[in-house]
Amino acid sequence: MLKKLFQSFRLPLRRIPHARRTPEILSSRQHSLQRSEISRHAVSVVERLQQAGYEAYVVGGCVRDLLLELNPKDYDVATSATPEQVRAEFRNARVIGRRFKLVHVHFGREIIEVATFRANHPEEDDDDASHLASRNESGRILRDNIYGTLDDDAQRRDFTINALYYDPTSERILDHTHGVHDIRNRLIRLIGDPEQRYQEDPVRMLRAVRFAAKLDFEIERHSAEPIADLADLLDGIPSARLFDETLKLFLGGKAERTFELLLEYDLFAPLFPASAAALERNPEYAGTLIRNALANTDLRIQQGKPVTPAFLFAALLWPALPARVLELQDRGMPPIPAMQEAAHDIIWEQCQRTAIPKRFTIPMREIWDMQERLPRRQGRRADQLLENPRFRAGYDFLLLRESAGEQTHGLGDWWTDYQEASDSERRVMIRNLGSKDDSAPRKRRRSGGRRRRSPGASTPAE
Ligand code: ATP
Ligand code: MG
């Protein structure tokens, strides 16, 4: 009885995000989105579903991006039809996902993702105790597979700007959350109570930062405020998902800005603990190296050049190596094994946070190993290195280290010249190396004994 009474006070408050509200409807004259801008495949999927009697809209990031005159990455459709009903309408459709089913409708290389309207999970104190298991103790949603109405679907989305529905038939936009207002004011605003929405899914904190960087938006004050306090909730997110998110954060063309925001909101440390510690120890060197790597990545993306996550992760983690190498050497390990073990440990630990697949950790190690080998150029070594498929990445990485102030005795310039030199010039360059070449270990010259920890010229300065 008491509980009922208590609930009756709480219900209206707790239910606000779920309350049915009529959306604001913007006619084609009230918004800038043109039907002709939308992928014709997305339009045809929506029309087909509507003709079959279902509700269907183009939704999410593509509507947001088109209103901002950006190029959408892909198109999503939301519908009242169940996945099976969707599949029945299209020959080129496949149901994917076990936990939450989606339908992929294939048109050559374009895939239109069709999702059935979903509802937010009921609150823990909801009458139906069977829902209890769907959240963990910090409020994180573990299951998210309840179908709902269009309004439910809008309310369960993350940000207001991501919850706009476009109907290509009427050319109207349905706005349940004042998303158009926030687009105009360039604001990232969570739908509902920010703290609760971050607790339900802490990855939304990363998404807030990602969209702020990508769109050059502000995170609205109430949505920004809880982030630093809740950042540690990311520890509970599966490492495979965090790896995917990390790629989106750093390969979206705005990596440098994203990095600044991650630092500002204390979100970098939960993703890259070892790198964050290195940044604290040596902000100048680590900060420059990481920022330069991210700026290069952004530039390459802008120029349409390929970027590899291996290079990116190699750069993000490199500043964490020296402290670890030192530690191992202090325990009596010789420099080269210490370097190898430190590299292994740091990658292994990082994989606990962001599960970097082997196809990237292997080239990461190769890029790092290459740093050991680049100084050793005597005899045929330089030519052998040039033929190594990882040479280019290793050389670029060397230049990156130099750009952050690492002393390599002109190694980068030497390799730049070597690549451009003729055969005979190369022979002269090798001959001129003399005792400067680190390939003669006994003759290796170091500026003072201070560098005992450095195996080759490769370990970054601390
Ligand atoms: P992008 O340009 O990165 O693809 P997007 O907005 O399309 O941006 P997606 O990750 O493709 O982002 O997700 C599609 C839509 O699904 C989002 O616009 C949002 O409405 C919803 N969504 C995605 N992730 C979440 C989440 N964690 N919580 C709530 N809603 C989400
Ligand atoms: Mg998308």
Does residue 193 form part of some domain? no
Mean pLDDT of 320-333: 95
| Pairing assessment for the beta strands 187-188 and 172-175 based on DSSP bridges | unpaired
Instruction: Report the number of distinct structural domains present in the chain.
Output: 2
Would you say 342 and 455 are in contact if contact means Cβ atoms under 8 Å apart? no
322 and 417 fall within a common domain: yes
Choose among 259, 260, 250, 261: nearest CA to 300.
250
**How far away, in angstroms, is 60 Cα from ligand 1 center?**
7
C-beta separation of 81 from 49 below 8 A = yes
Q: How far is CA 352 from the centre of its chain?
A: 16
Q: Which domain holds residue 82?
A: 2-185
Same domain, yes or no: 276 and 166: no
Show which of 185, 207, 226 is a domain's final residue. 185
CATH number at residue 355: 1.10.3090.10
Q: Is the CB of 113 under 6 A from ligand 1?
A: no
Helix, strand or coil for residue 448? coil
Q: What does the CA dihedral 7, 12, 16, 19 come to, rounded to 10 degrees?
A: 110
Mean pLDDT score, 354-383? 95
Residues 293, 173, single domain; the answer is no
pLDDT class for 1, splitting at 50, 70, 90?
very low
CA 157 to centroid of ligand 1, rounded, Å? 7
Average pLDDT on 173-192 reads 97
Mark which of 140, 170, 185 sits at the end of a domain: 185
Is the CB of 144 inside a 6 Å radius of any atom of ligand 1?
no
pLDDT in the model for residue 15: 40
Nearest CA to ligand 1 atom 3: 61
* Domain CATH for 42: 3.30.460.10
Best probe residue, ligand 1, of 99, 113, 157 (max atoms within 8 Å of C-beta): 157
Least confident range of 36-40, 134-138, 283-287, 411-415: 134-138
Q: Which residues are tagged catalytic?
A: 74, 76, 158
* pTM score above 0.85: yes
For ligand 1, whether the C-beta of 252 sits within 6 Å is no
Share the mean pLDDT of the chain.
88
Number of residues that make up the chain = 462
